[in-house]
Structure 1
Amino acid sequence: MVKPYPLKFKAEMKERVWGGRALEQFGLELPEGAIGEGWMIGDHPNGVTAVVNGPLAGKGLDEVRETLGREWFGTNGFSSKNGRFPLLIKLLDCNDDLSVQVHPTDSYEGLPEGELGKTEMWYILDAKPGATIIYGLKENIDRKAMEEAIAEGRIMDTLQVVPVEAGDAFYIPAGTVHALCSGVLVAEIQQNSDTTYRLYDYNRPGLDGKLRELHIEDSLNVIAYEGAGANRMKTDAVSPGEWLTIASSPYFLVEKGIIEEPLALTTPAYSFVILVIADGEGRLSWQDGELAVKAGECFLLPATLGHYTLSGRLTVLRSVVPQSNS
């Protein structure tokens, strides 16, 4: 029987027209090309990450889920809709602007079979001076106003553009129009979904030289014109040894912690824990071992791991699936 231990995975790298090479700074292995997304922990038909450490090395997260998931991942460790791991963890290198886009909810009738909706959150790891993102609609923009703006080629006039800097956190419920823009490096914690509806893509060619597909009707259908509860916050007020909640949804609860002294923690019985090391380096130790950890690494801690300790000088994002989701 395999004893529970923190799982580290080999990232699945995705070439994107807006990507770059910035993920190399974390020591990640990048294939050639413009790499926009590193899927760090994934169990999706479009990308399954494989374990690189310990007795389960070489096994995909899907295989771990099928063989050990009921025991290891907690009562909330599965999507009730498709049985897969419920979250997808990414690092994003935005070397250029992403498309203006929106994601559906779980209940949208146009979803591909077996696919989830996509509520997500962003934590800004790094931002160049003057960097911005698109985050929601301006006031009084309804479906009719949006349709007119699209028809007249002035969709940008309907969107809120906000400045960003490292340490900012954004909660992006399904239905929120958004776009990351050039010059930001982002950790993304989201529902395990790969469904994106594009409203606008700057009339630029994709990697194949052709214009990328837009999804105007689906987008207009799923936009939450009155707002879906998106919120943003500065997170620099967090004190060492404490945890600040930076995103709370039915799908994930994300907290930010600063580690300067060794901090003893425990996994909850109802959920696995995901640790994203946002900055610094240190150690993750548990009853049967320890691992060196550094910025850009992500770990999946089984619900059955129990006590663990973080030490060193670290900025950490800690995510669970909240109890209310069970």
Structure 2
Amino acid sequence: MSLLYPLRFSPLFKERVWGGRRLSRWFPDLPPGPIGEAWVLSDHPQGRTPIANGPFRGETIQSLRQRLAEAYPDRGDQLLLGRKGVHPRTGEFPLLFKLLDARDDLSVQVHPGDDFPGLPPGELGKSEMWVVLDAEPGARLIHGLADGTTRAGLAGAVAQGRTMEALRSVTARPGDVYYVPAGVVHALGAGLLVAEIQQSSDTTYRLYDYDRPGLDGKPRELHIEQALACASYAPPPAPSRLRTPEPNRWEPLVTSPYFITEYGRCMNCWYGATDPNTFEVLMILEGTGTIEWFREGVEPVAAGQTWLLPAEMGRYRLTGEFSALRVRMP
């Protein structure tokens, strides 16, 4: 069998006009400037995160897949990602994981679905979810359109400079969970720190950006026609909340066609096992502990880290006291 083990990834940082400095709570070496995004696990061409531990240090998912394909020609991907872990159309790793610091409001935007005709070649649609990790008092976000808003109504509001009147704006609290399928008009507001899980896509259509300049001093491009064309005019999925789970048990958060996300709290000792059909990703939210796998290996884990557990790894044990999100393929 292969020598796969739990893989920890080094983040890639993205400067954004709306970013801040709060990601330094997890990443003391945060580069200067307004850092809005840490891509903590990605194999998207716009940013492939390197492995940070073990014999495969410095490899990306892409390069590790190539190495495994040479060693195991008929089952390299199956060992690493499982039968469901490669997108059937693109042949790529299907998900992207981020931590977001919204010091200022993000643009109002909408993401296309996989079947949107205007997608760039090789790109997926973009359904995503948010877990609010921290929120300043009164912080808000946009999740869908105001009740009764039609395409004509939204187009009219945009044309007349009344975009915000057509949107559903809600107060956000730490622990809130939002599913944002493709088509839902959305935006994070100022003062939010968020974990984001999404399809591996970097396609966004901006509907409104507060008439502000970008990092280069020029207005950022809007994509109003594309946004109107792919927007959903139905109510968005109802939000939920993180609840204190029983120790050592995964509680479901979002089950979608693109990912299954659960929340759990390790206390002392917790046994698990990967499913040969899918990789597992653990996003460590708070606390510290270890991952021990049954090929005589152990790795320390800490808040801010993101781990990929290969599909073929099998049994493992978590120890310590920490909370995490677990993500698998449906």
TM-score by length of 2: 0.95
The alpha carbon displacement at 1:79 in A equals: 1.1
Q: Residue 107 and residue 28 in structure 1: after superposition, are their counterparts in 2 closer, same or farther (change >3 A)?
A: farther
Partner residue in 2 for 1:109: 117
Give runs of aligned pairs for residues 128-277 of structure 1, distance below 5 A.
128-227=136-235, 230-277=237-284
SS of the residue 2:164 aligns to: helix
Tell me if structure 1 keeps the 8 A contact 2:78–2:276: no
SS of the residue 2:312 aligns to: coil
Q: Which runs of 5+ in 2 are unaligned?
A: 69-76
Q: Which runs of 5+ in 1 are unaligned?
A: none
> Matched residues in 2 for 1:122 and 1:319: separation?
13
SS of the residue 1:274 aligns to: strand
Partner residue in 1 for 2:131: 123
The alpha carbon displacement at 1:66 in A equals: 2.8
Q: Over aligned residues, Cα RMSD in angstroms?
A: 1.2
The alpha carbon displacement at 1:2 in A equals: 4.6
How many residues align? The count is: 321
Partner residue in 1 for 2:22: 22
SS of the residue 1:141 aligns to: coil
Tell me if structure 2 keeps the 8 A contact 1:274–1:299: yes
Partner residue in 1 for 2:292: 285
Tell me if structure 2 keeps the 8 A contact 1:24–1:30: yes
> Matched residues in 1 for 2:38 and 2:263: separation?
21
Question: Which string of whole-angstrom CA distances, capped at 9 and with x for unpartnered residues, describes residues 239-277 of structure 1?
Answer: 222221111111100000011131101111110000000
Question: Which string of whole-angstrom CA distances, capped at 9 and with x for unpartnered residues, describes residues 125-164 of structure 1?
Answer: 1111211111111111010000110011001001111111
The alpha carbon displacement at 1:85 in A equals: 0.5
Identity of aligned residues (%): 48
Partner residue in 1 for 2:48: 48
Partner residue in 1 for 2:316: 308
> Matched residues in 2 for 1:132 and 1:239: separation?
30
> Matched residues in 2 for 1:109 and 1:10: separation?
34
TM-score by length of 1: 0.96
SS of the residue 2:149 aligns to: coil
SS of the residue 1:66 aligns to: helix
The alpha carbon displacement at 1:31 in A equals: 1.6
Partner residue in 2 for 1:38: 38
Runs (4+) of structure 1 moved beyond 2 Å? 65-71
> Matched residues in 1 for 2:138 and 2:178: separation?
17
The alpha carbon displacement at 1:231 in A equals: 2.8
Range 196-205 or range 56-65, more displaced: 56-65
Range 98-107 or range 77-86, more displaced: 77-86
Tell me if structure 1 keeps the 8 A contact 2:128–2:199: yes
